[in-house]
Amino acid sequence: MRAHVLYELQPDATLSVCVWCSGDMPTCWLVSEDDRHKPIQLLHYLTHTLGRGPETKIKDQKCSRQQVELTANCNRGFVTVKQLGSNPTSLDDVVVGKGNQVTFKPGQKLYLVNHLYPYTLLFREDSSPVSTPEDRSRAMKRARQGDAQEERDEDNAKIFRISQPSCSTSTVRPQITQSPTAVRVSAAPWNQGLKVSMQDPNMQVYKDEKVVVIKDKFPKARFHWLVLPWDSISSLKALRHEHVELLRHMERVGEHMVQQCHRSNTLHFRLGYHAIPSMSHVHLHVISQDFDSPCLKNKKHWNSFTTEYFIQSQDVIVMLERDGHVKVKDDVSELLKLPLRCHVCHKEQGTMPKLKEHIRLHLLP
């Protein structure tokens, strides 16, 4: 979806320097080899579901509306492909298989279904959506360079992480508008990442005069957004009675995000705040309850969304209206150490892999 309000760039506007988000990373494009449609951009680490429909112009009933799930790693130059549909998706001549995941690299061909509808990958250093024979030849060249280059890229990434801990750095492109609260950042500490991401137009999926919505950079479910106020409010502790209307607005915007989601009829969502968030700047989580995500990795992740560590938006608003502040229990962090328990049937699971396997059983097919 498009942002609802775009601010005009003021001549003296301070341009953000992104140390947290995608910055100078190459952009990733999925190129239809039979020229059915223009290249589709795959955003770094954001799951993109592809199948029959207007986006691909595929009408073939053998192709599911959600045939594959694609997740690009723009830093390392590959895309993971998970087959969701029943009929075979294949990478070159190898069938992926329903539920299986493979790594798709430039030079390879992905056939969406039944060895039809071929796609290739293109990684570009700029984000302009073009697809020329030169691009394709460059993509092929990159592919031919093979694993050795990938290793070098990985090494570069390692070196870069040491000097720039959060991520790559880039000035925001001048044609893109800035919010009124743009900040100058040269090397933000990791816990200031949201302040940077929320200013980045490439991350914004909605904005209005009070709030901005971004996709969580490491989503813990199929759909995971963060609603942030433009006003700098560091945490729940800083909230006062005067913020009630802002929080109500954040909740309404969160509900709006759910409503516009094509899976809102089949997925349950929760809206809430972490009792003690790691990242600075108040943010409302809007998260689908499938918890089907490779970024969901450990007990802290799980318990932060499935115990009372996750405080429902409405409860925060009620507390604020009633008491004028939000009270968080002193020992709330202990909740993060609780045994892993399924959020649907409450059955305890011994390890994260077992929990993740278990919660898949509760997913609709």
Partner DNA sequence: GTTCTAGAAC
Active site amino acids: 283
For 350, phi and psi rounded to 5 degrees? -70, -40
Choice between 57 and 161, CB closer to DNA: 161
> How many residues comprise the chain?
365
- Chain residues that interact with DNA, rule: CB under 7 A: 158, 161-162, 165, 190-191, 193, 217-218, 274, 277-279, 295, 297-299, 301, 304, 340, 350-354
Residue indicated by tokens 């209307």: 245
**Closer residue to DNA in complex, CB, 73/87:** 73
Helix (H) or strand (E) holding 69: strand 68-73
> Cβ closer to DNA: 17 or 226?
226
The DSSP H or E segment spanning 271 is: strand 269-274
CA distance 267 to 363: 9
d(CA 55, CA 234): 40
- Work out how close the CB of 157 gets to DNA at its nearest, in angstroms, rounded to a whole number: 8
Minimum CB–partner distance for residue 3 and DNA (Å) = 23
Residue with tokens 């290249």: 39
Cβ-based nearer residue to DNA, 212 or 279: 279
Residue 147, number of CB atoms within 10 A of its CB = 9
d(CA 107, CA 147): 12
Nearer to DNA, 161 or 268 (CB): 161
67-to-81, 159, 276, 346 alpha-carbon distances in Å: 10, 37, 38, 31
Cβ proximity to DNA, 319 vs 340, nearer residue: 340
| Residue type (1 letter), 263 | R
C-alpha distance from residue 220 to each of 2, 46, 249, 256, 285 (Å): 23, 11, 24, 20, 10
Q: Record the tokens describing residue 11, joined without a space.
A: 């001549």
- The separation between CA 189 and the C-alpha centre of its own chain, rounded to angstroms, equals 20
CB of 365 to DNA, least distance (A): 24
Structure tokens at 317: 């608003």
Report the nearest approach of DNA to the CB of residue 129 (Å).
Answer: 27
Pairing mode, if any, of strands 40-42 and 27-32?
A: antiparallel
Cα of first residue to Cα of last residue in the chain, in angstroms, is 26
CB of 42 vs DNA, minimal distance in Å: 17
Least distance (Å) between residue 364 CB and DNA = 25
